[in-house]
Structure 1
Amino acid sequence: MRFSVLGSTEVTNNGHHLELGGIRQRAILGYLLLNANKVVATSQILHAMWDGNPPPTARKMVQNAVSGIRRMLTHNTDPTTNPTLRTHPPGYQLRIDTETIDLYRFRRLVREGRNATTNGNPHRAAQLLTEGLTLWRGRALADLVETGTCWSELAAIEDERLSALEDRLDAELACGRHREITPELEILTATEPMRERLCHQFMLALYRSGRQVDALRVYRRTREALVDGLGLEPGRSLQELQQRILEHDAKIQIPALTH
């Protein structure tokens, strides 16, 4: 049995998609998957499902959803895994092999990719981080988000994705693939105009591609977005990169490496 939260909530058994029930049951399953192997208090579930204002029948609704999830878990035919949803005061615990959940595989691959970077192997880092990022099929728990779910955990997971993406782009730059990633960075910086690390990477990729004027234009665009949106000047790292580009600093040029 495999569980997916990096996109719409999905559960598959031997490649077949299982029926997950109504929106409340899907939401409680999604919340338990985000908190895999942790004891989640019923009060915490109530707050997540009804934003702190549950109806009188809320606890019964949670119990019914838990029963539905347990029935769904009985369809597991993988002898190597045995996911179980236990009643564990003060709430419930989803006992599960985290390798069956795409979010936790993503996190493992990101850790391994960052370790490869630390160990001076950007090619391996780029490979691992790419593998992790390809697990994403859309926004985390996209089907729940569409119905108005806005848990703080989901914003944090999205930030994990962006940070991993930035780590991959750093690895690609270290491999000399600045020309290859320039189109991707153009789209990303348009989507996230105030994310300074992406701007830094885009400026560096452009400069290393012989596009100094374009790199400086990106700096001006990002500065305007930060000043207009947050009332802040770019950070020191971005300002220093701009100055180095103006000075044609050889330290920010690297030779193209083999793929």
Structure 2
Amino acid sequence: MRFRLLGPLEAENDEGLVEFGGIRQRAALAYLLLHSNQVVSTNQLLGALWVGGDAPTTARKILQNAIWRLRGAIAGPTSDSPAPRLLTRSPGYTVQVQAEQLDLLTFQQRVAAGRAALAGGDPQTARVLLSGALSLWRGPVLADLVEEGICWPEATALQNKRVDVMEDRFDAELACGGHQSILHDLKALVAAEPLRERASRQLMLALYRCGRQAEALSVYGRVREELVGGLGLPPA
């Protein structure tokens, strides 16, 4: 069984994609996978499934039924060894998975290795690893659940981490002389995140190296205006 969180929630076994039923069941699985290999308390899980404290009196029973159905789905045909497991562990539940069975864990491994390579002066290896990490993303974290009104701080933190990794990858590409190849992506990121100084500096450097000094100065002027107007601070 392989799980994917970096985009719409998906799970796949040896027979193809697995269906997990209604919103509570899918949300319970997603939240446990966000905290994979950790015990999530029943109260914490209930709070994630019914945001705002509007859980019905039958909430615990609904959760128990969802867990029971999830166990049956996860136990489907798979060649993985060891197979993922959904276990009851006081004071709640845990999903045990290997790194290769969950895109989030694979992403984190590749990012750690890529950053280590970058810090060690090997930008060529770093850009391969960081590009590989970013290639796992199929859209916003748990996009299908977000569409149904579920939004957790853990998902927001992951979205922010993705941008941090994009900037790491840009550093690696710039160190390898790849300023031309990342120009489009840099422009898109700075347009979407105008207050990120690091990305703006990377864009200015890429533009300068491409011989587009006037555009680089224009970016600096716009960033300065954004920072002074929005935060009352000039760019560092």
* 133-142 vs 185-194, which moves further: 185-194
Deviation, 1:230, is 2.7
Q: Does the 8 Å CA contact 2:15/2:77 hold for their aligned counterparts?
A: no
Taking the aligned partners of 2:149 and 2:168, their CA distance within structure 1 comes to 30
Alignment coverage as a number of residue pairs: 235
User: Cα 1:163–1:111, aligned 2, differ >3 Å: closer, same or farther?
Assistant: same
Deviation, 1:184, is 1.5
- Give the counterpart letter for 1:60 in structure 2: K
**Corresponding position of 1:5:** 5
Taking the aligned partners of 1:10 and 1:200, their CA distance within structure 2 comes to 36
Taking the aligned partners of 2:48 and 2:74, their CA distance within structure 1 comes to 22
Taking the aligned partners of 1:51 and 1:79, their CA distance within structure 2 comes to 34
Alignment of 1:158 with 2:183, yes or no, is no
SS of equivalent residue, structure 1 residue 12: strand
Deviations 1:36-81 (A, max 9, x none): 1111000001111112412111111111110111010110321413
User: Cα 1:15–1:107, aligned 2, differ >3 Å: closer, same or farther?
Assistant: farther
Alignment of 1:90 with 2:125, yes or no, is no
Q: Within 5 A, what are the aligned runs for 1:7-156?
A: 7-14=7-14, 16-53=16-53, 54-156=55-157
Q: Does the 8 Å CA contact 1:76/1:82 hold for their aligned counterparts?
A: no
Q: Does the 8 Å CA contact 1:87/1:93 hold for their aligned counterparts?
A: yes
Q: Within 5 A, what are the aligned runs for 1:92-241?
A: 92-234=93-235, 236=236
Taking the aligned partners of 1:81 and 1:5, their CA distance within structure 2 comes to 20
Tell me the percent identity.
51
Q: Does the 8 Å CA contact 1:40/1:90 hold for their aligned counterparts?
A: yes
Taking the aligned partners of 2:231 and 2:96, their CA distance within structure 1 comes to 43
Give ranges in structure 2 of 5+ residues lacking alignment.
Answer: none
* 26-35 vs 118-127, which moves further: 118-127
Taking the aligned partners of 1:118 and 1:15, their CA distance within structure 2 comes to 42
- Give the counterpart letter for 1:170 in structure 2: D
**Corresponding position of 1:241:** none
**Corresponding position of 1:253:** none
Q: Does the 8 Å CA contact 1:46/1:52 hold for their aligned counterparts?
A: no
CA RMSD of superposed structures (Å): 1.2
- Give the counterpart letter for 1:13 in structure 2: N
Taking the aligned partners of 2:137 and 2:217, their CA distance within structure 1 comes to 32
Deviation, 1:83, is 1.2
Q: Does the 8 Å CA contact 1:36/1:98 hold for their aligned counterparts?
A: no
SS of equivalent residue, structure 1 residue 86: strand
SS of equivalent residue, structure 1 residue 161: helix
- Give the counterpart letter for 1:34 in structure 2: L
Q: Runs (4+) of structure 1 moved beyond 6 Å?
A: none
Q: Does the 8 Å CA contact 1:40/1:91 hold for their aligned counterparts?
A: yes
Taking the aligned partners of 2:157 and 2:187, their CA distance within structure 1 comes to 24
Taking the aligned partners of 1:145 and 1:222, their CA distance within structure 2 comes to 31
Q: Does the 8 Å CA contact 2:88/2:94 hold for their aligned counterparts?
A: yes
Deviation, 1:161, is 0.6
Q: TM-score, normalised by structure 2?
A: 0.96
SS of equivalent residue, structure 2 residue 37: coil
Give ranges in structure 1 of 5+ residues lacking alignment.
Answer: 237-259
SS of equivalent residue, structure 1 residue 93: strand
Structure number with larger C-alpha Rg: 1
**Corresponding position of 1:249:** none
SS of equivalent residue, structure 2 residue 7: coil
Deviations 1:134-155 (A, max 9, x none): 0000001111111111110011
Taking the aligned partners of 2:14 and 2:82, their CA distance within structure 1 comes to 12
Taking the aligned partners of 1:88 and 1:182, their CA distance within structure 2 comes to 49
Q: Does the 8 Å CA contact 1:114/1:167 hold for their aligned counterparts?
A: yes
